[in-house]
Amino acid sequence: MFNIHDPYLFEDELSEDDRMIMEAAREYCQANLEPRALRGNQDEHFDPDIPKEMADMGLLGASISEAYGGGGASQTAYGLIAREVERVDSGYRSFMSVQSSLVMVPIEKFGTEDQKKQYLPKLASAELIGCFGLTEPDHGSDPSSMVTRAVPTDGGWILNGAKTWITNSPIADIAIVWAKVKEEDKDVIRGFIVETAWKGVSTPHIKDKMSLRASETGELVFQDVFVPETHIFPEIRGLKGPFTCLNSARYGIAWGTVGAAEFCYERSRTYVGERKQFGHPLAANQLPQTKLANMLTDITTMQMLAWRLGQLRDAGKDDPAMISLAKRHNVGKALDIARVARDMHGGNGVTGDYRVIHHVINLESVNTYEGTYDIHGLILGREITGIQAFVPKG
C-alpha cells in the first residue's frame, strides 16, 4: 500500500527508540503547541510556559549526554524532534534549536567540566534559557570580519561589541558569545559564556519582525562587560567553534523543514478535497493534483536526505558539505511547497486561520539564517571546484 505521508516508508527503518521519540514529540506538539501557534504567530507572542513544557518532555538537549541532564538520544532522534516542532511553527523550532544546538552543544563540546556541570542540567530543564551570538549588524555571512572583541584584564576579560538577529536573546539568561581576542599579535575567535544579568549586557527586543513571530529575537549589546576567566572555552580557537554549533543546528533545520513542508502539503490536500468550485472538489482537477504530486515528490527527497544525514551523523561519518546540501535543498523546497500551498488555498491562504502563510513567511527567515541558501551553494561550489568564491575577485 502506498503511504501518502511517507512514500518510501523511512519511518519503518528508524530504530524503535527513534520512532518512539518521534511519536511522543508529535503527540506533544500537536496537543500542546499547535493550539497556540495561530495566536503566537499573529500576536508575536512566545508563550513563556513552552520552554518548561519542552524540558519536561526531554526535548531540550535531546542528544546531549545524560550525565549532564540531556536525553542521550541519537542525532536522528534530535532531527525527528525538530521535524515535529517545525510542523507547528519554525519559531518554536528556532527556540528549541538554539537551546539545544547553539548553546548546549558548545558547552558540552568545548566547555570545562565546571562549565558543563554549572549550565547543562539547568539548560536541559529550562531553568536557564540560552542564546548564541555570532552575527553582527555589519557581519552576517562573513563572520570572520566580526568586530566584537575581548581584551584581557585581571581575572578575566573585558568584552565590547554587539550581536544581532539573536533568537531568544530578550528572554535569555546566558549567551554563547564569539569574539576576537589577540593571541601572539593575531586576531583569534574565541567563545565565552556570558550571563545576561551581568553589568554592561543588554538584550533589546527586535520589533516589527514579519517572520518567526512566535519566537523572541533581539540583539546582544556588550559595553565593558567583565567576563571571568572561568567563562571562556579553554581550547577551541577560530570559526571551527561556532561552525560546530551551526552544523548541528543546520542539520536540525534540514529535518525541521520536512515538518513544515509536510504540514503545508497536508493542509493543501485537505483543502482541495473539501473546497468545491464549478460543482466539483478542486482536487478533481489536473492542476491541483500535479501540484500535490510535486509537493509529495519534493517532500520524499527531503525525507530521504534528512534521514540519511541523520544516519551519517550517528555513525560519525558526516561532513559539513553534506549538511550544507541538505539545509539548502530542504529549506528551498519547503519554501517552494509553502508558497504553492498558499496559492492553492486561494484567498483563504492569506489568513492566519489556515496557517500556511505562517510557514511561508517563517521559511523566508529559515532560508536566510544559519547560512543563506546562496552561501550554502558557495560551500558546495568550493567542494565541487576546489575554488572558493566567497571573496569576490573583481
Partner 1 sequence: MSNERTILVCAKETPDTYSDLSFSGGDVQFSNPRPVLNAYDASALEEALVLSEAHGFRVHVVMIGPERAAETLRKALAMGADEATLLTGAPEGADSAVIATILSSFVQQFGPDAVIMGRQSQDTDVGLAGTMLAEHLGWPWTTNAIGIRVEENMFWVKRQGDSAQESISSPMPCLITCSNNLNDPRIPTLKGIMASKKKPMHIMGIDQLPGGESLISTPPSTVVDSLTPMPARSKGQVVEGDLETLVDALVKGLAAIPETGVDA
Q: Which residue has the cell 504530486?
A: 293
Per rule CB under 8 A, count of chain residues that contact partner 1: 26
Tell me if 180 sits within 8 A of 149, measured CB to CB: yes
By the rule CB under 8 A, 28 interacts with partner 1: yes
CB of 51 to partner 1, least distance (A): 15
Number of alpha helices (DSSP H) and beta strands (DSSP E) in the chain: 13, 9
By the rule CB under 8 A, 279 interacts with partner 1: no
Among 40, 44, 51, 71, binds partner 1 (CB under 8 A): 71
By the rule CB under 8 A, 274 interacts with partner 1: no
Among 33, 37, 50, 57, binds partner 1 (CB under 8 A): 57
Q: Which residue has the cell 572558493?
A: 388
Q: Give the bridge partners for 312, in sequence order.
A: none
- Gap between the Cα atoms of 295 and 266, Å rounded: 10
Tell me if 233 sits within 8 A of 192, measured CB to CB: yes
CB of 24 to partner 1, least distance (A): 5
SS3 118: helix
By the rule CB under 8 A, 5 interacts with partner 1: yes
- Sign of the C-alpha dihedral, residues 160, 161, 163, 169? positive
By the rule CB under 8 A, 59 interacts with partner 1: yes
Question: Which region among 67-75, 159-167, 221-229, 231-239 touches partner 1 (by CB under 8 A)?
Answer: 67-75
Tell me if 147 sits within 8 A of 136, measured CB to CB: yes
- Gap between the Cα atoms of 311 and 308, Å rounded: 5
CB of 11 to partner 1, least distance (A): 8
Nearer to partner 1, 37 or 366 (CB): 37
Question: Which region among 59-67, 132-140, 185-193, 298-306 touches partner 1 (by CB under 8 A)?
Answer: 59-67
Question: Which region among 64-72, 310-318, 321-329, 371-379 touches partner 1 (by CB under 8 A)?
Answer: 64-72
By the rule CB under 8 A, 176 interacts with partner 1: no
SS3 311: helix
By CB under 8 A, the residues from 77 to 116 that bind partner 1 are 77
CB of 148 to partner 1, least distance (A): 35
Helices (H), the chain: 10-13, 16-28, 34-42, 50-57, 75-88, 90-97, 105-110, 113-124, 240-274, 286-314, 320-344, 356-368, 373-385
Burial class (CB in 10 A: 0-12, 13-18, 19+), 266: middle
CB of 371 to partner 1, least distance (A): 28
By the rule CB under 8 A, 122 interacts with partner 1: no
Tell me if 325 sits within 8 A of 305, measured CB to CB: yes
DSSP class of residue 143 equals: G
- Gap between the Cα atoms of 332 and 54, Å rounded: 28
Among 37, 62, 146, 283, binds partner 1 (CB under 8 A): 62
Nearer to partner 1, 17 or 224 (CB): 17
Binding mask 8-27 for partner 1 (x = CB under 8 A): ---xx---xx-xxx-xx--x
Q: Which of 108, 216, 364, 370 is catalytic?
A: 370
Distances (CA, A) of 38 to 157, 213, 258: 44, 10, 20
Would you call 370 a catalytic residue per the annotation? yes
Among 13, 43, 49, 66, binds partner 1 (CB under 8 A): 66
Residues that bind partner 1 (CB under 8 A): 1, 3-5, 11-12, 16-17, 19-21, 23-24, 27-28, 31, 56-59, 62, 66, 71-73, 77
Residues known to be catalytic: 370
